Chain A
Amino acid sequence: MTERADSPDLLYSDVEEDLRASVRDLLTDRAEPSALIARTESAEPYDLKLWHTLAAELGTAGLMVPEDLGGHGGSVRETALVAEELGRSVAPVPFLGSTVLATSALLAAGPAASEVLGRLASGAVIGALAVPLTTAPGADFPSAVTVGADGALSGRVGAVADASVAEVFVVPAVGPDGPGLYTVDASAAAVTELVSLDLTRRISDVVFEGAPAARVADADTAPAALQRALTVGAGVLASEQVGITDWCLTETVAYVKERYQFGRPVGSFQALKHRLATLYLELVSARAAARYAADTLANGHEDSDVAVAVAAARCSPIALHAAEEALQLHAGIGMTWEHPIHLYLKRAKSDDVALGTAGRHRARLGGLVDLPA
């Protein structure tokens, strides 16, 4: 049996709290729920101006990237904290695709990736990792894209997160030399945005037909780099799910205190109080699991695979439960398009299958902690 990391820091540091305050202020001003709903139906479902402020001016895009590579020299901990705030707001920005998935793949790829990495870290360029968003840590290296004799890429990848706004793709592909990681300019790919269940994080089909590509990781490093990206992705997604849970619980508690039926606030009925107490317990659990995952990823602790599997397996069902309860307890108004709960439900349900379902993470965990099937 593996051991937990010694005395992990499961709290938020003062610096992290400062970062949270700036991100939250920005999102409160610029990602107000009714505006988000209107945007989902507009020609520009992503808010790239907001993204620019968040990524470049607040520097969140480069949190995981060392300073000498153009980043801010933080860690997965701060990145996860930003994800938590973004989960609380479901702001339509390409944080997961660019800052988390593409950036962590490039960080693990090696020196050839430095230049692109610097551009992503500064927020000047948006990236996306060309794998289906459902790909789980531990999955086989994808062979959907192949490398031709001329070094150009061909193939099709479905359900790529944030691809419709990406300017550069990080693509796992298999060539005569085995697996590699490549960067491809988005102008060289055919990107078709799908009608996504999640209105605030879109997915697209991406097709490469002899697309010129630069190799940033070879057969020795590419599988591990992709693995790292998926693991960091799943770990950070758990924090996003904590944010979703927190928003759903807070809004619902506020609503049931105000809504009167049968001559009393509906929140005074024990049947509802107990359900909300259960959600509170789930939030406490999810936060501890997500913080532990972020801390072990930040410190490169060997327990991070277990920590991520635990966080992913616990936080997805909790976020989904919170969103489903929020809808049920808001009842009629919760079922309307005008109330933002549906944005959270859609995000929670997509997150439930993103980067591995809870069941997949549990199955993987069984192998990691010597509890085989």
Chain B
Amino acid sequence: MSAPTADDLRARVRALLAENDPKTVARLDFLRARFDAGLAWVHFPAGLGGLDAPRSLQSVVDAELAEAGAPDNSPRQIVIGLGMAAPTILRFGTPEHHRRYLRPLWTGEEVWCQLFSEPGAGSDLAALGTKAVRDGNGGTPANGGVAGGGDWVVTGQKVWTSGAHLARFAILVTRTDPDVPKHQGMTYFVCDMSAPGVEVRPLRQITGEAEFNEVFLSEVRIPDSQRLGAVGEGWKVAQTTLMNERVAIGGTPMPREGGLLGPVAEAWREHPERRTPELHDRLLKLWVEAETLGLASSRLRQQLTAGQPGPEGSVMKLAFAELNQALSGLEVELHAEQGLVYDDWTMRRPVHIDFAARGPGYRYLRAKGNSIEGGTSEVLRNIVAERVLGLPSEPRVDKDVAWKDLPK
């Protein structure tokens, strides 16, 4: 069977709208119907919210539905679920996982978070120490003292976990074998955030709010059926998550004067009295850069459409981080004495990150995270240098050392 075309998808959108008038059907019911019609993420398999269609055709569906005034699933609010958990579950999960998780994830009924980073393992994710041991009910020494299907008991601390306070589930990487080199002894799970022993504490950040958290895991029981991928293959699974993360963060084409350039250009137009030649040239440099990155994202998307996947995903994330920081810095300056004012330092736990709803000071501070979250710019440069340009890696001191013997 050949993949659906843009016209097929338009016909399906019409059928969906005919049966579910967005004006009368409740938002959640509409989203569920959309998922069941295969129009959620069209490149996913049929039955799991998709139609095995080319990824590029998603924009056709989105545009048609937006035009009809249909609600969307607020993709900006469920970034981790859509961008990271879903592709990982799809690739490494069982049919049961697919059935259980993907639909409420896509509709936003169930929020996901990512329990990766630890106080001692950030960029070097494979250094992590959160321990998962199997409960020994009836196991044999040959299989690690474990009967098939037994629970795992997880203990450790995660940090900087975005949205953990809202999350129903988490993707979690743990250490299951400290006696082998670090990349070999990790195992990946789905963690139920309501399980006993999971404790989420807000971690206030430089903007004043607590968008991320510390997560303490104290003897949390996770059934073996919640494992994604084989025991000891957690690194491989995590790689899938991380690759998707970078594309999710950097791969969305921006319209002209979209993103953080919008408020800067607006401030420039509204305040002729604050213009100087130096600010003008900086503004236009950034305008050109933003426009170019918007075009480069579109080009990346066109390449994906034509079936030539490019490694530009990591590079776009890196570029947008730098651009956002330069733009938000300029914006504070453009506001002159108003730039010294901050909108609100109240400690709160936001439901999603909305740069547009806040002031220049917030944007300046929050944009600093863009070059850290989802892999620092330094680490992304390493990735581009080694995986795109094929440059040799630096000598590794940790490759053949058991995790337990590594300096920490």
| Interface residues in chain A, defined as those with a beta carbon under 8 Å from any beta carbon in chain B | 1-4, 8-11, 249, 253, 256-257, 264-265, 267-270, 272-274, 276-278, 280-281, 284-289, 291-292, 309-310, 313-314, 359, 362-363, 365-366, 369-373
From B256, B287, B381, A371 is in contact (CB under 8 Å) with B287
Q: How far is the CA of A362 from the CA of B289 in the complex (A)?
A: 11
From A268, A287, A359, A369, B391 is in contact (CB under 8 Å) with A268
Q: In chain B between 200 and 254, which residues have their CB closer than 8 angstroms to a CB of chain A? A: none
Distance of A6 from chain B, by nearest CB (Å): 11
> Which residues of A have CB within 8 Å of B280?
366, 371, 373
Top 8 A-B pairs, shortest CB-CB distance = A273-B385, A288-B296, A277-B384, A288-B295, A362-B284, A268-B392, A277-B381, A10-B299
Pair A11/B289 contact, Cβ less than 8 Å:
no
Known: A257-B392, A274-B378, A373-B277. A366 touches B284 (CB 8 A): yes
Pair A10/B295 contact, Cβ less than 8 Å:
yes
Interface size on B, as a range, is 35 or more
- Give the total number of A-B pairs whose CB atoms are below 8 A apart: 133
Nearest residue (CB) in A for B285 is A362
B315 within 8 A of A: yes
Q: How far is the CA of A289 from the CA of B299 in the complex (A)?
A: 10
Distance of B308 from chain A, by nearest CB (Å): 8
Pair B281/A362 contact, Cβ less than 8 Å:
yes
| Interface residues in chain B, defined as those with a beta carbon under 8 Å from any beta carbon in chain A | 255-257, 265, 268-269, 272, 275, 277, 280-281, 283-285, 287-289, 291-296, 298-299, 302-303, 306, 312, 315-316, 318-319, 378, 380-382, 384-386, 388-395
Pair B283/A277 contact, Cβ less than 8 Å:
no
Nearest residue (CB) in B for A256 is B391
Q: How far is the CA of A276 from the CA of B382 in the complex (A)?
A: 10
> Which residues of B have CB within 8 Å of A362?
281, 284-285, 288
Could you write out 13 A-B pairs with CB less than 8 Å apart?
Answer: A2-B256, A4-B295, A11-B306, A265-B392, A272-B391, A277-B380, A278-B381, A280-B315, A285-B292, A292-B295, A362-B284, A371-B268, A373-B280
Pair B385/A274 contact, Cβ less than 8 Å:
yes
> Which residues of B have CB within 8 Å of A8?
298
Q: How far is the CA of A139 from the CA of B315 in the complex (A)?
A: 36
From B272, B285, B299, A288 is in contact (CB under 8 Å) with B299
Q: A2-B256, A284-B315, A284-B316 are in contact. List 11 more A-B contacts (CB 8 A).
A: A3-B256, A4-B255, A9-B302, A10-B302, A11-B303, A11-B306, A253-B390, A264-B392, A277-B382, A277-B384, A280-B315
Pair B389/A276 contact, Cβ less than 8 Å:
yes
Classify the secondary structure of A's interface with B: helix
Nearest residue (CB) in B for A269 is B394
Distance of A247 from chain B, by nearest CB (Å): 14
Q: How far is the CA of A284 from the CA of B295 in the complex (A)?
A: 10
Distance of B58 from chain A, by nearest CB (Å): 15
Known: A284-B315, A313-B288. A289 touches B382 (CB 8 A): no
Q: How far is the CA of A234 from the CA of B380 in the complex (A)?
A: 33
Pair B394/A270 contact, Cβ less than 8 Å:
yes
- Residue among A11, A269, A272, A288 with most chain B CB within 10 A: A288
> Which residues of B have CB within 8 Å of A257?
390-392
- Residue among B280, B288, B298 with most chain A CB within 10 A: B288
Nearest residue (CB) in B for A317 is B285
Known: A11-B306, A277-B381. A4 touches B256 (CB 8 A): yes
> Which residues of A have CB within 8 Å of B386?
273
Q: How far is the CA of A249 from the CA of B385 in the complex (A)?
A: 12
Q: How far is the CA of A373 from the CA of B278 in the complex (A)?
A: 10
Distance of A41 from chain B, by nearest CB (Å): 34
Q: How far is the CA of A123 from the CA of B235 in the complex (A)?
A: 59
Q: How far is the CA of A156 from the CA of B98 in the complex (A)?
A: 76
Known: A4-B255, A274-B378. A280 touches B389 (CB 8 A): yes
Known: A264-B392, A273-B385, A371-B269. A365 touches B299 (CB 8 A): no
Nearest residue (CB) in B for A2 is B256
Pair B315/A281 contact, Cβ less than 8 Å:
yes
Nearest residue (CB) in B for A369 is B287
Q: How far is the CA of A4 from the CA of B290 in the complex (A)?
A: 13
Distance of B355 from chain A, by nearest CB (Å): 19
Pair B392/A371 contact, Cβ less than 8 Å:
no
Distance of B107 from chain A, by nearest CB (Å): 30
> Which residues of B have CB within 8 Å of A309?
288
Q: How far is the CA of A270 from the CA of B381 in the complex (A)?
A: 9
Nearest residue (CB) in B for A291 is B299
Q: How far is the CA of A362 from the CA of B394 in the complex (A)?
A: 40
Pair A314/B288 contact, Cβ less than 8 Å:
yes
Distance of B277 from chain A, by nearest CB (Å): 7
Known: A264-B392, A268-B391, A373-B277. A10 touches B288 (CB 8 A): no
> Which residues of A have CB within 8 Å of B318?
281
Pair B319/A253 contact, Cβ less than 8 Å:
no
> Which residues of A have CB within 8 Å of B380?
277
Pair A365/B378 contact, Cβ less than 8 Å:
no
> Which residues of B have CB within 8 Å of A253?
389-391
Pair A10/B284 contact, Cβ less than 8 Å:
no
Nearest residue (CB) in B for A371 is B268
Known: A10-B299, A257-B392. A284 touches B284 (CB 8 A): no
From A10, A256, A373, B298 is in contact (CB under 8 Å) with A10
